Structure formats: structure tokens, C-alpha cells
Amino acid sequence: MDPNQSKENAGGPVQNKPNLFNFLIIGVIITFALNIFMGSMTAGSKMQIEYGQFIQLVESGVVKQVQIGEDRIALTLKGDNDGNAVRNILRLDNAATTNRSILPSLSQGDQIFYTGRVEDPLLTNRLLEREVAFFRPIIQSNPILTFISNWVFPLLIFYLLYTFIMQKFAGTMSGGLGGMLNVGKSKAKFYDMEKNTGVTFNDVAGQDEAKESLIELVDFLQSPEKYRKIGAKQPKGALLVGPPGTGKTLLAKAVAGEAKVPFFSLSGSEFVEMFVGIGASRVRDLFAQAAKHSPCIIFIDEIDAIGKSRDNQIGGNDEREQTLNQLLSEMDGFDSSKSILILAATNRPEILDKALLRPGRFDRRVIVDKPDLPGREAILAVHGKKVTLGTNVDMKEISRSTSGATGADLANMVNEAALRAVRMERAEVLQEDLMEAVEVVIAGKEKKDRILNPKEKRMVAFHEVGHALASALQKNAQPVTKITIVPRTMGALGYTMNVPEEERYLMTKSELLARITTLLSGRAAEEIEFGEESTGASNDIEQATKLARSIVTQYGMSNKFGMMGLESPSNQYLDGRPVFTASDVSSAGVDEEIARIIRECHETALSLLRENRAKLTEIAEYLIAHESINGVQFMDFLS
């Protein structure tokens, strides 16, 4: 590695110095044009006359002063002169000699005329007789000063402006002057991981399988000889795939930190610009920089921005496709002996071009999924080291309450807990702070200004107790840990928190139906107690319908369709929205089957709550008075 290059680029974007040759060309052209413009402006305010006309003007008494130079004489008219007399002397009525720009100002004075100097021994006497002020400049024009003022000084100003614009916009704004001169330059950031970030695998938790897949790549970069001896080749690239917030970028930085090699990092969107060919130029520039600093790692985040499948449809993006073609060419153009490893991250692998995923390009696909129960506990431990924790903190309990959370979610929860501890004026984070942080991330903050009237408060209480009671009375349901009727900022007027006793990866049909029954029990409790429904069950109905639809279309558990797949998920690492793949006739049948499942589960919920009407009322009345019930208190009511 060139030490000068390292000092220039370490820790920031690669800078492009102003091109002096380009500046000189542009500066000289602008200065030349400016001098011509200023000269024409100055000349436009003067008029050359004959020497005889100059003498006549002096004799007529309209001249205010005369300046006698080396080769010319300049005269200024008086302010109260006779304009018609001047016109007659200068013969301005002749259209061929008329300077239209000075005609209106002849009678206003201060108009400058000049004529060539003639050896006239009588000139001095004429000027004295007519009391005309005349003088000869003592300081003559200095050619050096003239050159400096007309050329050097303007060029210096242009250079300062040019340098400022280049430093301000080069590499950051493709529309500015700097961006226009550097649109083909790579925007990759150059990192020395050992000195700057220091991220290693010890800073990544909950992704043991992903780390295991990447450790071998680190070993390739550190000790390539032992692999070459046996004939093994280093993988050219690895694709990190997973939902947002699971730590794909952190893993890429950890690989560079473990290998102690330079790390080029940029987003896929930084390649694509408005002008066709710029993205391809940036890809070439990026790989040229990487070749100078090998061994190194190139990390392209959100590679789907340039790696989308080429479908040849009308309206395709030529710039993106040219950039992708250049990336494919560059990946084919270097061998593993150069020790350049390409890492990329995406959460939409299904839309990537097949040529990008074939062996020899991105040889490995590393899944970075949401962490399981032990993984969440390990992630909480990593982030917990950064704050002061109390002795009563149980990270295992917190991890059980955060099923489905990503690493970013867990980091946010620990930070929210620390902020709450500061608000409560405590020096350490307690278990209650972490539990409250979990609720803040899931349901939002308590909305203290939203005050429910007595009827609404009673209705919300029965609704939430209906959920909790149905969950407790079904053997396949999850246990209840908290019931509250305190409104939250995300729209919930109350909620019931269920925490599974163990991490589950499969669910049976009976468990799915029990879950739907629990969701519909809030509406059932309203019907039993008040004899009418409210709008509070809208989210419950949405979730119940989604579960029932999955039973019918994806899990093959319905009586009508049996083991027939009617939907397939898309964007499984984002929203996982299902796409219906069957006919319209089947679609109508699916709706009927979903309605049947929901109707039967609703009837089950009504039956459970009617059989336990006394408990429903007792717990709801306590909840109205105290607003929250924990899991232990709830089970005491049922015992």
C-alpha cells in the first residue's frame, strides 16, 4: 500500500484534486472574454473626433477640461453647454457618423471625447485664453501593473472559486461543476478497519451460522498460501441476505476487521446516475482502486439497486443494466490470487439477476435471519455491556418477550431503557426499564393525554380481559404476562401481552385455530357484556383473517382444498406479502373457507367466555380500577 495514498484516503471519500490544466484553459478563456467585454464597455462611453473639431469645441467655450496624454487628448464637456452647437461642430446630424448612444447626453455635460495628439504649439495658449483646465498625468500606465490587474488578479480569483467548487461538490453532487468533472469517479469510502472502526466478530451476536460461513473467507485473506498449496480457490464473493436490521453491514465490517485489510464500502444506488455510462465508469474506478490496495474487501450494500434482473421490458433502465454488465465483467476479470473479496447485502434476493448469482461471482449466499431465543439473549448481552445494568436484570426474560425482533430492534430497546432510567433519575438500568422499553418499541409510549370516558374504558377492559381469558382457557394458547388498558401512541387503547414458554418453529392446526380464537375473544367479550360490537376489534379481525387465509392457501389445512398451494410468498425478507396463484373460481372458494374458519372460532370464543362469565366480570372490574394486571395476578384470579 502506498503510504501517501493511505494518508490521503484514510477514513473518508477519495478526494480528487483540481486539475490545473483544465483550470488554466477555462480561466484564460473567461479572463480574455472579460477583458474584451470591459474594453467594449469603456469604448462605448467615448467618441473619437477630429483634431480640428477639438479646436472648434475649445474655441466655442463648451470644453470643461482637457487631459493631454502621450498619444491622445481627452476632453470633457461642460454641464451647461449648448447641445445644438456641439452637434453642429461634430456634424452629428450625418447618420454615417452619429453615435446614437451619446446624443441624448450632449447637453448634460461630463461627456468624454478624445482625439489623436498633434504637435500644436498654440494649444496651450488657446486653452489658457478659454480658461480650460488642462493637465498631463504624472504617473504613466505601468505595463506590469496593467498585466497584473487585467490577467493575474482575475485568474487568481477564478482559481479560488474553482478550488472551492471542486472541494464542495466533487464526488457529492453530480449536477455541480465538481460532479460534472468527476462523475465517473468511485464514491467508495476507504476504511482501515484496524485503526478506525475496530469491528470484529466479537461485536456481532446472534448470527453464529453466518459468522461460521464468513470465518473461512477471513482465513483466505489472512493465509492464502495454504489454500493455494492444495489447489483451492478463494470465493470471489459472498451475498449477505436477510431482513432489514439483522446486521448484514455489521458482519461485512467485522470480516474486514478480522482480516485486517482495507474495506471499500458503498451503496448500490451510488453507482446509478442520470447519465448513461457513469455507473459503469464508477465500477471500473472502484475495482482499479481495490487492485492497488489488495488484499481488500469491497462491500456493496443494497446491491438490488443495480443487480435487478434484466427482463428486456419496455422502459428498462439502460444505465442500471450497463452498470450491472460492467460489474459482471469486473468480477470475471480478476482471479482469486489478487485477494479481493466482494461482499454484497440485500433483502430482495429473488429479484437479482441470475448471472450475478452463478458460481464464480457470488459463490456463497449467507443467510442473516432474525435471531432465535439464544441469539436475542446474546445480542442483548452485547448491547447491555454499553450501559450500566442493575443486579435484577434478567436478559433471558427480555429475550422471551421479544420474539421476532431483529438486532436493530434489540439495540433500540436497550437504548430506550437507558433513556428511561435517566428520566427516572437512576444511575442504572433496571428490569422494569427494559420491560417498558419492549412495550414502547412494540406498542409505543403511553399516551397520557388520551382520557377515555367511563363507557369506553369499561369496554376496553372487557375486550382485553376477553383476550386473556380465552388464551388461558385453551391448552394450545400462549400464557399471558400482562394486561393493560393504558392507551399507547401507536393507536392501541389497550393490549394483552402473551409470551411463549419456549421458542417454537412449527405450529399445528389446533394451535393456529386457538390463536384465531384468542384474537376474536375481544369482540366476543364485548358482545357478551354490552350486547353490541365496537371498532376496537379491527386489528384483531385483520390478524385473524390473515391467519385463516394462511391455513387455507399456504399450509394446506383446510377441509375444502386440502393440501393445495394457492398462494406463494414474495419478498420473504421484507413484508412477505403472498401472491395468489390459483383461478378466480378458487378465490371465491377461499373466501368462503376463511369465513367458515373465523365463524367457528368466534363461536368457540363466545362459548368459552359465557362459561366463565363471572371470572370475566371480576377481572375486568379489577382492571378498570388498576389499569394494569401482570401475569401472576391474572393467574391468581383463575386459581
**Which of 258, 270, 436, 464 is the catalytic position?**
464
Instruction: Note whether 295 and 339 are within 8 A (CB).
Output: yes
Instruction: Note whether 262 and 293 are within 8 A (CB).
Output: yes
Three-state SS at 354: helix
Active site residue 464: yes
Distance of CA 546 to the CA centre of its chain: 32
- Distance spanning both ends of the chain, measured CA to CA: 73
Instruction: Note whether 190 and 262 are within 8 A (CB).
Output: yes
Return d(Cα 214, Cα 222) in angstroms, integer.
13
Return d(Cα 460, Cα 447) in angstroms, integer.
15
Q: In what order do the strands lie in the sheet with 340-346?
A: 189-192, 262-267, 296-301, 340-346, 237-241, 364-367
Q: What is the dihedral of CA 444, 446, 450, 455, to 10 degrees?
A: 100
- Around Cβ 322, how many Cβ atoms within 10 Å? 20
DSSP-derived secondary structure letter, 527: H
Return d(Cα 572, Cα 435) in angstroms, integer.
29
Return the closest-CA partner of residue 467 out of 403, 512, 520: 520
Backbone φ, ψ for residue 447 (5° rounding):
-100, 90
- Around Cβ 571, how many Cβ atoms within 10 Å? 15
Distance of CA 455 to the CA centre of its chain: 46
Residues noted as catalytic: 464
